Amino acid sequence: MSTAAGADGPQSGTAHAASMPAMLYGTAWKKEHTADLVYEAIKAGFRGIDTAHMKRHYDEAGAGEGIRRAIRDGLVTRSDLWIQTKYSPFDEPYASDPSTPTITSQILASVSASIANLSPDPSDPSVFQLDALILHSPFPEPTDTLEAWTALCTLTPHPIRTLGISNVTLPTLRLLSTAPHPPLIVQNRIRRAERAFDIDVRRWVASHSSSGMRYQGFWTLTGNRDEWQQSEFVGRLASAAVVERATAWYALLLASDVVVLNGTTSQEHMHGDLEGLEKVKRWRETEAGKELWDGCLREFVAMIGK
């Protein structure tokens, strides 16, 4: 699969080989099944894992267990994987812990825990480098968001290669654009009901793509059921390429510079989605495929905006 970011962006400062895949495996809401599902996702061909240090919706330690098992079994090496996690305001135990009274101290504690959870070698987590750390959401007060971002900036390039922000609107992106290390990842829901497929934020990211900024989309299927299940051009593409409608929708998103988070719990879909995307890629390189693909992509772009 194609990659959505270079191996070593401005924040990396390292020769670490992993680059951001075009599709990441999302681990939200997997609970006690997280380790097994992460292992199966890697076995199926996923090379990017998205998790969070957020007890309410994620099992970050389980994600680390699945990664370590895959490495131990020889499915991948650490350098094959893009591993990203999040600091989640308001969800951590540190807010009520007197030893972490400030946002900065809470972030440092959270990142330290994430590294311990995700390091391939728990006996020496100091050598582990996260590919990306995402601020899960801005704080209600811009000054608090800036404090959090300033703290994160002190952690690049080690132990964090790349910084990002999620659940963000354009005003906050503009606020952070003047930081020493502005966000290079923007991870948002992409659906019609939220700012017309998040068009203002996607346009901002596109205008900063030369700096390495990339847009990651989640809820791409759940939030767009009518669009991918009923749109004629999605069905036309799926039929011609002989793939599922969901795969056709994913292919159109990837072609529109959206890095997709895929959270399937089905091993069949894990394999089918990745293999289907490769199938679409080969099909669209044929003469007949290119013409039909170009037409479907134009209709897709007309729907979600450019």
Number of domains in the chain: 1
Mean pLDDT of 230-258: 98
For residue 88, tell me if it sits in a domain. yes
For residue 214, tell me if it sits in a domain. no
Residues 5-47: pLDDT tens digits?
333 444 533 445 579 999 999 999 999 999 999 999 999 999 9
User: Which distant-in-sequence residues (6+ apart) come within 8 Å of 284 by Cβ?
Assistant: 241, 290, 293
How does residue 70 score in pLDDT terms, banded at 50, 70 and 90?
very high
**Burial per residue of 23-48, b for 16 or more beta-carbon CB atoms within 10 angstroms, e otherwise:** bbbbbbebeeebbbbbbbbbbbbbbb
Q: Is the pLDDT of residue 147 over 90?
A: yes
For residue 66, tell me if it sits in a domain. yes
For residue 172, tell me if it sits in a domain. yes
Q: 135 is written with which tokens? A: 């601020």
For residue 121, tell me if it sits in a domain. yes
For residue 265, tell me if it sits in a domain. no
The structure tokens 């007197």 sit at: 98
What domain range is 115 assigned to? 23-183
Q: Is the pLDDT of residue 3 over 70?
A: no
Q: How are beta strands 130-135 and 160-166 bridged, if at all?
A: parallel
For residue 132, tell me if it sits in a domain. yes
Assign residue 91 the CATH number of its domain: 3.20.20.100
Q: Is the pLDDT of residue 196 over 50?
A: yes
Query: Torsions phi, psi of 35, nearest 5?
Result: -60, -45
14-18, 32-36, 81-85, 138-142: lowest mean pLDDT where? 14-18
Average pLDDT, the chain: 92
Mean pLDDT of 234-244: 98
Name the pTM for this structure.
Answer: 0.92
The structure tokens 């292919």 sit at: 251
For residue 269, tell me if it sits in a domain. no
Residues 250-299: pLDDT tens digits?
999 999 999 999 999 999 999 999 999 999 999 999 999 999 999 999 99
DSSP state of 127: G
Residue 114 CA to residue 110 CA, distance in Å, equals 6
Q: What is the pLDDT of residue 125?
A: 74
